Amino acid sequence: MNTRSESAHVSLGAYGRVPHEIAIADALACPPTDPLLGTLSTHRMQLCPQNLGYLDRDWAVALRERHPEIEWRLHANVRVRDVGRVIDLCDWPTQRDYFQTLGGISEALGAPVYSAHAGRRSVASIDAVIRHSLAMTQYLGMPVAIEGHYPVPGNVWLFSSWREYRLLLESRAWFALDLSHLHILATRSGVTEHALVAEMLACERCLEVHVSANDGQRDQHLPLTEPPWWWPLLDHLHDQAVIFSEGRIASGTQRTTANHTPHPPQHGGFPHPSPALWVAPRIASGGMTRTT
């Protein structure tokens, strides 16, 4: 199978700082396209920390009831509380209440997997984060996939070298492979480990692949306008892994509803939607600025 001809799915974080319900409405009203990937699939969608607002279990139940045809997944430090903060897998021992809440929302959505960043080297070790992910998998009752990082000054992030990605492959942990992060790693290190990337894509513990473009220095989340060096390696991706496109998408609904005020929920559920826009209950203003 040529995986590159298969559909990539929508990561709603690609819509940027718009409310979750606006990003969902845009994706469903007009499925986005990427210059290289083509039309993105809305069969699966990720709810991400870039979008504004916070989620709760009642909202998740209503979303799943309204769109049972879509497989929903939570990603990274998506807001499940009124106050947003960066929480990564390294924080598992001290943030179990956050992950418990996130697990309840994932369960309500019927999510099959949760993916999150490894986090800071100052908080935990490589071995500890691997143990955390396995413990969370048992605790949440679903695979928890580790997403690695890329090198920055100060060596801040875990899984930011080729050696550490090899350790992730050789561990027992599930993982999500962000190929745009690996492009930054290749550019900054001057080394491109094609064989390792092919092995990781072929590994059955690779649950998700995240793709976008950047200049090799910053995680810019740009659309893919030309094939990057890792593009041919997608032929090694195993059949059960899911590709999510994180390249930026312009929000048409955002442009046409700049002054839109969400309606209050009716009878504890969704308000009556317009043809192109529905508004979920308890989506508050606010959000996170960290990219994923």
Encode the chain (292 residues) as per-residue pLDDT tens digits.
344 546 899 999 999 999 999 999 999 999 999 999 999 999 999 999 999 999 999 999 999 999 999 999 999 999 997 767 899 999 999 999 999 999 999 999 999 999 999 999 999 999 999 999 999 999 999 999 999 999 999 999 999 999 999 999 999 999 999 999 999 999 999 999 999 999 999 999 999 999 999 999 999 999 999 999 999 999 999 999 999 999 999 876 444 333 333 322 322 333 222 223 333 333 333 332 344 5
Q: What is the CATH number of the domain that holds 23?
A: 3.20.20.150
Residues 6+ apart with CB under 8 A from 110: 64, 71, 72
Note whether residue 268 is domain-resident: no
Note whether residue 283 is domain-resident: no
Note whether residue 274 is domain-resident: no
Show the domain range for 137.
3-256
Q: What's the total number of domains in the chain?
A: 1
Note whether residue 288 is domain-resident: no
Q: How many CB atoms lie within 10 A of CB 270?
A: 19
Length of the chain: 292
Note whether residue 292 is domain-resident: no
Note whether residue 113 is domain-resident: yes
Note whether residue 169 is domain-resident: yes
Note whether residue 290 is domain-resident: no
Q: Would the pTM count as exceeding 0.95? A: no
Q: How many CA atoms lie within 13 A of 168 on its CB side?
A: 31
CB 190 within 8 A of CB 121: no
Name the nearest CA neighbour of 45 among 81, 6, 7, 91. 7
